[in-house]
Structure 1
C-alpha cells in the first residue's frame, strides 16, 4: 500500500504512465491499476522509476485483459524490453497476484 503523499511526490511519473497508456490505447481502468501498482512498488531512485512504471503498466494491461507486448509498453515508456521483462512478475506478486506461467 502507499501513502497519499506518494501520489503527489510521483505526479510526474503518473503523468508519464497516463501518456503511455494513451499511446497504447489502454482504458482508464488499466491506468488506475497501473498507478496503484506503481505507487505500491515505487523505488526511491529516480533512475529506477521508468522501468517500474513500464512494468506496472504491462502488469495492469494483463490484469484488465488488455494485453500489450512488453516491447510496445517498453517503447511507450522509453525503457528497454528487458526492464519490463525483469520487473513485471515481482510487481504482480507483491500486489497479491499470481503471474501467468506461459
Structure 2
C-alpha cells in the first residue's frame, strides 16, 4: 500500500505513465491500475523507476482487459522490452494476483 505522500513524491512518474497511456490509447481503468501498481512497487533506485513504471503500465493494461504488447509499452515508456518482461509478473504477484503462465 502507498500513502498520499507517495503520490506527490512520484508525480513525475505518474505523469510519465499518463503520457504513455495516452500514446497507447488506454482507458481510465488501465491507467488507474497502473498508477496503483507503480506506487505500490516504487523502487528506491531512480535508475529502476522507468522500468517499474513501464511494467506497471503493462500489468495495469492486462488487468483492465486492454492488453498491449510488451514492445509497445516499452517503446511508449522509452525502456527496453526486456525491462518490462522481467518486472511485470513480480508486480502482479506483489498485488496478490497470479500471473498467467504463458
Q: TM-score, normalised by structure 1?
A: 0.99
What do residues 57-79 of structure 1 show as CA deviations (whole Å, max 9, x unaligned)? 00001100000000000000000
Give the alignment of 1:1-102 within 5 angstroms.
1-102=1-102
SS at match of 1:44: coil
SS at match of 1:47: helix
Q: Count residues with an aligned counterpart.
A: 102
Gaps of 5+ in 1: none
Q: TM-score, normalised by structure 2?
A: 0.99
Q: CA deviation at 1:45?
A: 1.1
SS at match of 1:92: helix
